[in-house]
Amino acid sequence: MPEMEQYQVPWTAMSDGTAKDYQMLSAQYEDHARASLRQSLLATLARLSGPKLGYQIDREQHSRQSATRALRNGEPAEMVVAALFHDIGDVLAPHNHSAVAADIMAPFVSAETEWVIRHHGLFQGYYYFHHFGGDREERRRYEASPFYERCVWFCAEYDQNCFDPAYDSLAVDDFIPLIDEVLARPSRLGQEWELNPSNPPGEVG
Ligand SMILES: [Fe+2]
Ligand SMILES: [Fe+2]
């Protein structure tokens, strides 16, 4: 999508901006943000291709297997898309990947799906923490959460079992309609500047 410069402010300091300026800026920024996010999500997913890191498939294949299993289980679009992108945080935050993916998806998915993605790394520990002398039941400290069982389910059905090279996963293109549907939703969290007034539109706080 070509970048369209629809509006330019006449000032060089934000203190001179009017309400109309900021309405125009925010609308323009929102269009850009959605297109940019879609592109970044797909590019970041592609960056998970390559090293298998000791497993039998790479992390891009793992992600598509996760999303394909979710789709074939009849999960809603947002869970399929969340499954596809649940490990994208690996690229920039390998030691904190769950939280990064959750924050990226949060505006477009339910609180439940956000919670599942945010905690999937810890919940996955059930399958291996004890092999390092840790407590595989560590996730139980979240047992009171209404989303606990959903996260247990996610890990059991769409994560720990998604390392099978023989599984018939769909291609990324097959998920595009679902990705577009989810990214077209109004932000559940409101605008960035509503959440954190110290961050004006389009500016990194
Ligand atoms: Fe993960
Ligand atoms: Fe994963």
Please report the DSSP string for 26-94 in residue order: HHHHHHHHHHHHHHHHHHHHHTT-S--TTSSS-HHHHHHHHHHHHHHTT--HHHHHHHHHTTGGGGT-T
Tell me, in angstroms, the distance from the centre of ligand 1 to residue 86's CA: 6
Tell me, in angstroms, the distance from the centre of ligand 1 to residue 82's CA: 11
pLDDT of residue 51 exceeding 60:
yes
In tens, the pLDDT along 141-185 reads 999 999 999 999 999 999 999 999 999 999 999 999 999 999 999
191 token code pair: 């605008």
Tell me, in angstroms, the distance from the centre of ligand 2 to residue 79's CA: 14
Hunting for tokens 């970041």 — which residue is that? 44
Q: Name the pLDDT band for 199 (thresholds 50, 70, 90).
A: low
What b-and-e string marks burial along 117-143, b requiring 16 or more CB atoms within 10 Å of the CB? Answer: bbbbbbbbbbeebeeeeeeeeebeeee
Hunting for tokens 């990226």 — which residue is that? 104
pLDDT of residue 86 exceeding 90:
yes
Tell me, in angstroms, the distance from the centre of ligand 2 to residue 167's CA: 15
pLDDT of residue 79 exceeding 70:
yes
- Which pLDDT value is given to residue 170? 98
Average pLDDT over residues 109-115: 97
Tell me, in angstroms, the distance from the centre of ligand 2 to residue 87's CA: 5
pLDDT of residue 204 exceeding 50:
no
- Which pLDDT value is given to residue 30? 85
- Which pLDDT value is given to residue 47? 98
Q: Name the pLDDT band for 6 (thresholds 50, 70, 90).
A: confident
- State the CB neighbour count (10 A cutoff) for residue 116: 28
Which of 10-19, 26-35, 139-148, 173-182 bottoms out in mean pLDDT, i.e. has the lowest?
26-35
Tell me, in angstroms, the distance from the centre of ligand 2 to residue 19's CA: 44
The chain-wide mean pLDDT, for the chain, equals 92
Tell me, in angstroms, the distance from the centre of ligand 1 to residue 157's CA: 13
3-state SS, residue 156: helix
Give, as residue ranges, everything with CB less than 5 Å from ion ligand 1.
87
Ligand number nearest to the C-alpha of 116: 1
Residue from 91, 151, 158, 161 nearest 122 by CA: 151
Tell me, in angstroms, the distance from the centre of ligand 2 to residue 184's CA: 25
